[in-house]
A and B are shown apart, each in its own frame.
Chain A
Amino acid sequence: MAELRQFKLPDVGEGLTEGEILSWLVAVGDSVTVNQPLCEVETAKAAVELPSPFAGTVTELLFDAGTTVDVGAPIITIDVGGGSDAAPAEDAPTGSGLIGETNANGRTAVLVGYGPRSTEAKRRPRRGQPVAAAQVTAPQVLPEADHSPAHTPLLATAPDARVKPVRHGGLEAARAAEAAAARRPADPAASASSATAGRGALRPLAKPPVRKYAKELGIDLTTVRGTGEGGVITRADVDAALAPPAEPQGAAAGDTRIPIKGVRKHTAAAMVASAFTAPHVTEFLTVDVTRTMKLRERLATRPELAGVKVSPLLFVAKALLLAAERHPMVNSSWDEAAQEIVVHGAVNLGIAAATPRGLIVPNVKDAGRLSLAELAGALTELTETARAGKTQPQDMTGGTITITNVGVFGVDTGTPILNPGESAILAFGAVRAMPWVHKGKVVPRQVTTLALSFDHRIVDGELGSRFLADVGALLHDPGTALAF
């Protein structure tokens, strides 16, 4: 038999009145154990996970993620009956003191044992004052089994729990306004009514930066309609007031909301996983690559390289491969599960490619064994396939080290994020003619900047520096390759 318990949002800080449900970690139908995290809640003080006080099956999530909920409001219903036939009568909720239950005295345990009361909010009547007593003790209107819980009044005195109590300024209002503005595009009717309800004769509600903003623009906030929750005036409202009626849709009309999916979603997950798993270090080296550029011109005319693209990227790739042969540890992976570092036998060289589908990183398998001509052919094929959107999954897996060619966008350098599972990534910047000290004189030279990010768990500063210096030396004087 089902035995439903509700967990009410506790005060997880000190003296907080509300929190925003950032995300649910369980779904209806999930079975949960005591202390299993149910959801993540952000308050003015911290974002925390709420652990379940009950073991059972989730039957209802009472608020969507993104909702700001008052402390004391039930947020989840859990069936703790566990499918047993009969719930023992003495287990009836009354007075057991568990969260999510109202005691006989109307208290709900939330913080220090003295949570909000859902039955009475007034004092007990003094003896000998029967009239007052009759008035206050009356409403016993909440039927036990009914949980249309999103609207359970927290206090008998609140006319409607859906109307949030209006706070004048303060972090809660600002956060609520931001949350509301981000959540839904302006709904003129609703916002008008809430604005009316919230504003009254007092000064208009707006957070300090918005007040300052309005003041700078010379806008009187009493003339601005607030679209934030509780009628709070947002920055966008001030903008709307500045550019009169042209924009009837209001604040967020110019924004486009794009669902996060596909390559974007994978890219985001990969970047987050990489950035927060591997401690990144990035080092920079500016190199005079004039000799490499001259070599490129000479080689481009050779018959072996006819029909393939002899790009600056080719030389960077070759330099990286030669340097990686000398420093095999940069071509390795951190295997957390096995507690081992995997030093790869082959260099599968990834090239970050911007494609119509988004960022992908196909790689050239065992690139270290290819001749310059073969490498040039492989790179050309790889980038053309990627741009055509035809890269196969196997071409994108198994990479061991990556080059990102930000120079093609005319950018000097960046701090690249490692392709997950790899230990190094080299960013290749634009090659520019720059004033440079060459043989004791300032002359125009072809100069570029290299940026190497590496996983500091595997690659120490010394190794990373030597590797980057070797790549730089090879590009500065390709003849150095003879010594490698």
Chain B
Amino acid sequence: MTALQQGTTEVVDPVPGAGAPHLPDQPDLVQLLTPEGERVEHPDYRLDISDDELRGLYRDLALVRRWDAEATALQRQGELGIWASLLGQEAAQVGAGRALVDGDMAFPTYREHGVAWTRGVDPLHVMSLFRGVDQGGWDPVARSFNLYTVVIGAQTLHATGYAMGLQRDGAENAALAFLGDGATSQGEVNEAMIWASTFAAPVVFFCQNNQYAISVPIERQSRVPLYQRAAGFGFPGVRVDGNDVLAVLAVTRAALAAAREGSGPTFIEAFTYRMGAHTTSDDPTRYRLAGELEEWKLRDPIARLKAHLSRTGIAGPEFFTAVDAEGDELAARIRKGTVEMPDPAGTEMFDHVFAEQTPELAQQREEFVAYHASFEGEQ
């Protein structure tokens, strides 16, 4: 047995789709780009897209993944309190984010880094939240991207309320509510859907079904495919291949257009997979098998677009090298910016509680300052 092959078995950059057990028979799954990188047509969802846009989507996906990898490393180095990785869900997020137009508003969970990216949010403004320096540093109105919501499913109510506001303003825009598969079991989400349905509110519920509510598999969360639940609320439900950025873009565009036109809500189930841990505090090997992860690696959202771009000649090696280099620059900027973030002044906790400061808080702030001034030396 001396000459036994003991090489590493990790597939770093698998041939997309090679031997991939295709998704279980899902006749309703909308797909425009197969795991092998083949463009296919769908009768209901057409997508006319330029080469520039395709390259742009690839760049989005690759840069978001690079950011995510750097953030995970920074957490392991003690620079972030926690990090919720989006690894594997890039296409679902970028596709959905790129479907938004001016005036639309997105309501994220705490994992929507890819959507944040498409809305032009500086990654450092997300990092500051996970470093515990602030509550998220971006302007939700300017970026049309609400602050991260950590309470599971609460943002679906915010989005529905916002959409009803749009409706009353007569604005031709829509709200896009993000949620995970686990959130569909929350009361708020069901309430939000009932209200949205009843009022035909211009809101799209974009559910990334990444197969696990932390450790609970989807089979133990729902007796029916999630998208079929929409029928019970009285609006359409669509299941899209969440690892296919083109299909996600097409489906979300169509749903947002319908909402803007007054056709009411849509529920989109982006069928995807969380390839990393729930957060850096989680160990997925305790509740799922390595084989499952390997299967999903073969459906990787980035590898399939790369295969498509390469095969069609839309992008060549120099393009991919340039994107990689840009990713490394981005990562370096994120690292430096995160590590150098100053601790916030203690008084900041009083400053943003209300839009207008209240006398009670102002007084507490003064007392806080005086208390700290009562010590010797520098703080």
Of chain B, the residue at the smallest CB distance from A339 is B15
Given the known inter-chain contacts A46-B282, A276-B9, A339-B15, please indicate yes or no for A123 contacting B77, CB distance below 8 A: no
Alpha-carbon distance between A97 and B11 when the two chains are bound, in angstroms: 36
Partner of B78, one of A46, A109, A123: A109
Alpha-carbon distance between A124 and B376 when the two chains are bound, in angstroms: 6
Decide yes or no whether A329 CB sits under 8 A from chain B.
no
Alpha-carbon distance between A154 and B285 when the two chains are bound, in angstroms: 32
Interface size in chain B (residues, C-beta < 8 A): 46
Of chain A, the residue at the smallest CB distance from B290 is A276
Decide yes or no whether A187 CB sits under 8 A from chain B.
no
Of chain A, the residue at the smallest CB distance from B75 is A12
In whole Å, how far is A401's beta carbon from the nearest beta carbon of chain B? 16
Residues of A within 8 A of B358 (CB): none
Alpha-carbon distance between A393 and B1 when the two chains are bound, in angstroms: 7
In whole Å, how far is A176's beta carbon from the nearest beta carbon of chain B? 19
CB atoms of B374 and A51 under 8 A apart: no
Partner of A273, one of B9, B79, B340: B9
CB atoms of B76 and A51 under 8 A apart: yes
Partner of B340, one of A13, A48, A97, A393: A97
Given the known inter-chain contacts A34-B335, A123-B375, A124-B377, please indicate yes or no for A396 contacting B132, CB distance below 8 A: no
Residues of A within 8 A of B18 (CB): 339
Name A's interface SS.
loop
Decide yes or no whether B51 CB sits under 8 A from chain A.
no
Alpha-carbon distance between A35 and B70 when the two chains are bound, in angstroms: 8
Decide yes or no whether A235 CB sits under 8 A from chain B.
no
In the complex, which residues 56-81 of chain B have their Cβ closer than 8 Å to any Cβ of chain A? 69-70, 73, 75-81
Alpha-carbon distance between A112 and B286 when the two chains are bound, in angstroms: 26
Given the known inter-chain contacts A115-B78, A273-B6, please indicate yes or no for A125 contacting B376, CB distance below 8 A: yes
CB atoms of B283 and A45 under 8 A apart: yes
| One of A164-172, A246-254, A262-270, A303-311 contacting the partner | A262-270
Alpha-carbon distance between A115 and B343 when the two chains are bound, in angstroms: 12
Alpha-carbon distance between A125 and B339 when the two chains are bound, in angstroms: 30
CB atoms of A127 and B376 under 8 A apart: yes
CB atoms of A99 and B78 under 8 A apart: yes
Alpha-carbon distance between A11 and B340 when the two chains are bound, in angstroms: 19
Decide yes or no whether A226 CB sits under 8 A from chain B.
no
Alpha-carbon distance between A47 and B285 when the two chains are bound, in angstroms: 9
Residues of A within 8 A of B1 (CB): 263, 266-267, 270, 359-361, 396
Alpha-carbon distance between A480 and B75 when the two chains are bound, in angstroms: 65
CB atoms of A113 and B132 under 8 A apart: yes
Alpha-carbon distance between A10 and B18 when the two chains are bound, in angstroms: 39
Given the known inter-chain contacts A34-B335, A53-B77, please indicate yes or no for A113 contacting B343, CB distance below 8 A: yes
Residues of B within 8 A of A457 (CB): 19
Question: What 1/0 flags go to B31-44 for Cβ under 8 Å of A?
Answer: 00000000000000
In whole Å, how far is B76's beta carbon from the nearest beta carbon of chain A? 5
Residues of A within 8 A of B5 (CB): 273, 420-421
Name B's interface SS.
loop
Alpha-carbon distance between A211 and B4 when the two chains are bound, in angstroms: 46
Question: What 1/0 flags go to B355-377 for Cβ under 8 Å of A?
Answer: 00000000000000000001111
Decide yes or no whether B82 CB sits under 8 A from chain A.
yes
In the complex, which residues 15-29 of chain B have their Cβ closer than 8 Å to any Cβ of chain A? 15, 18-19
Decide yes or no whether B3 CB sits under 8 A from chain A.
yes
CB atoms of B79 and A99 under 8 A apart: yes
Residues of A within 8 A of B291 (CB): 279
Decide yes or no whether A468 CB sits under 8 A from chain B.
no
Decide yes or no whether A225 CB sits under 8 A from chain B.
no
Decide yes or no whether B308 CB sits under 8 A from chain A.
no
Residues of B within 8 A of A393 (CB): 2-3
Alpha-carbon distance between A12 and B279 when the two chains are bound, in angstroms: 11
Residues of B within 8 A of A336 (CB): 9, 11
Decide yes or no whether B275 CB sits under 8 A from chain A.
no
Decide yes or no whether B277 CB sits under 8 A from chain A.
yes
Residues of A within 8 A of B198 (CB): none
Decide yes or no whether A7 CB sits under 8 A from chain B.
yes
Alpha-carbon distance between A290 and B133 when the two chains are bound, in angstroms: 78
Residues of A within 8 A of B7 (CB): 273
Alpha-carbon distance between A113 and B74 when the two chains are bound, in angstroms: 12
Decide yes or no whether B131 CB sits under 8 A from chain A.
yes
CB atoms of B82 and A270 under 8 A apart: no
In whole Å, how far is B303's beta carbon from the nearest beta carbon of chain A? 13
Question: What 1/0 flags go to B236-269 for Cβ under 8 Å of A?
Answer: 0000000000000000000000000000000000
Alpha-carbon distance between A218 and B16 when the two chains are bound, in angstroms: 62
Question: What 1/0 flags go to B127-156 for Cβ under 8 Å of A?
Answer: 000011100000000000000000000000
In the complex, which residues 84-115 of chain A have their Cβ closer than 8 Å to any Cβ of chain B? 97-99, 105, 109-115
CB atoms of A51 and B73 under 8 A apart: yes
Of chain A, the residue at the smallest CB distance from B82 is A14
Decide yes or no whether B221 CB sits under 8 A from chain A.
no
- Pick from A50, A53, A110 the residue with the most CB of B within 10 Å: A53
Residues of B within 8 A of A50 (CB): 76-77
Residues of B within 8 A of A35 (CB): 69-70, 73
Given the known inter-chain contacts A97-B339, A396-B2, please indicate yes or no for A11 contacting B78, CB distance below 8 A: yes
In whole Å, how far is B143's beta carbon from the nearest beta carbon of chain A? 25
Decide yes or no whether A126 CB sits under 8 A from chain B.
yes
Residues of A within 8 A of B374 (CB): 126-127
Of chain A, the residue at the smallest CB distance from B282 is A46
List chain A positions with a Cβ less than 8 A from chain B. Answer: 7-8, 10-14, 34-35, 45-53, 97-99, 105, 109-115, 123-127, 133, 263, 266-267, 269-270, 273, 276-277, 279, 336, 339, 359-361, 393, 396-397, 420-421, 457
Contacts A34-B335, A97-B339, A123-B375 aside, 7 further interface pairs with beta carbons under 8 A come to: A45-B282, A46-B285, A46-B286, A111-B81, A276-B9, A336-B11, A457-B19
What are the 7 A-B residue pairs with the smallest beta carbon separation, nearest first? A10-B78, A46-B283, A112-B132, A112-B81, A124-B375, A277-B9, A53-B77
